[in-house]
Amino acid sequence: MKNVLVVSNYKAGRKKAILNKKILKKFLYQHAEYFQIIDICDLENINASQFDTIIAMGGDGTINKILPYIINTDKKLGIIPCGTANLLAAKLGIPTNIKKALKILEKENSKKIDTISINNKLCILRFGLGYDSDIIGKTPQSLKNKFGYLSYFIAGILFALRLKIKNYHIMFDDKEFNIEASCIIIANASNMYRNLITINNKCELDDGLIEIFILKTKNPIMFFIELLNIIFKHHINNSNAMYFKTSKLKINNKFSLGHIDGESIKFKEDIVFNVIPKSINIIN
């Protein structure tokens, strides 16, 4: 690493980034020729072209904000997981312990992974509608500050008791269909609750494909049955759920509240998904 920019989200994950800042600075004094640490709010004011490495010290949302500055470049992305979920780090095997995470940064081994373009917005983790969006967007920050990642599990149980069905028209490859669903997840990294749950057993970050999961029931009992199937890795199309992969997908949409990498977004037009293959160079 020569010139390093650290983008820190001091509000993420019970403000863990504040505690890690001193350790990270000591590491950079030893391993970088030049470095700068900024708050995520100041990212738009930085000339990123002078840096060969950008380190995200925060959660999945922090990584998402960095994507426009590194996509399809030779810049390397490093991760110091400090968020509530840290799902991408978990998928890559990057530990939340900062000293162990720094050992990965020190080796500088990297690989290129895919990203997803969603109506020209970038996504590296996953997109969600319905139930998945409710968990991400409606879990209070106070609950996340108090219980951390467990807050999403608590919210997941509560929202499962009041699932709502909505009709969607979906197009991919040469297929087109209408479907009633309570949840749609479109993922580059399909792991949830650390690596405990995944919507696809063979999800790869560099395969040029997105994983799609559609929950077709609003019955809480059927939901929990399907959840058990997912936990025990029985990802089988049935009356309650649909699983498939593709590189492009379109959802006809008039108005939906969804999320991209944990950030809630209102979509008032059709939602179009395209994989951008091996477009991010990530240290792992």
Question: Radius of gyration over alpha carbons of the chain, in Å?
Answer: 19
What domains, with CATH codes, occur in the chain? 3-108 (3.40.50.10330), 121-276 (2.60.200.40)
State the Cα–Cα distance between residues 97 and 130, nearest whole angstrom.
33
**What pLDDT is attached to residue 142?**
77
How do residues 107-155 score in pLDDT, each as one tens digit? 999 999 999 999 999 999 999 999 999 998 888 777 777 777 788 888 8
pLDDT for res 38: 96
Task: Give the per-residue pLDDT at 137.
Answer: 83
For residues 41-54, average pLDDT: 95
Q: Please give the average per-residue pLDDT across 59-74, as a whole number.
A: 96
| Residue 34, beta-bridge partner list | 3
* Number of neighbours of residue 229 by Cβ within 10 angstroms: 15
Place of tokens 């949840």: 183
Check: CB of residue 198 under 8 Å from CB of residue 191.
yes
Averaged pLDDT of the chain: 93
**Residue 139 dihedral angles phi and psi, to the nearest 5°:** -75, 120
* In the predicted structure, residue 95 carries a pLDDT above the cut 80: yes
Residue 55 in this model has a pLDDT that exceeds 90: yes
Give me the residue label for tokens 């708050």. 39
What pLDDT score was predicted for residue 14?
Answer: 63
Bridge partner residues of 251 (DSSP): 170, 271
Average of pLDDT values for 216-227?
95
For 3-18, what is the mean pLDDT?
84
Residue 142 zone, left/alpha/beta (φ > 0; ψ -120 to 50; rest): alpha
Q: What is the mean pLDDT of residues 154-172?
A: 93
Give residue 114's pLDDT. 98
Written as six digits, the tokens of 73 are 């470049």
Q: What is the pTM of this model?
A: 0.93
How far apart are the C-alpha atoms of 141 and 260, rounded to whole Å?
Answer: 17
User: How far is Cα 242 from Cα 186, in angstroms, rounded to an integer?
Assistant: 12
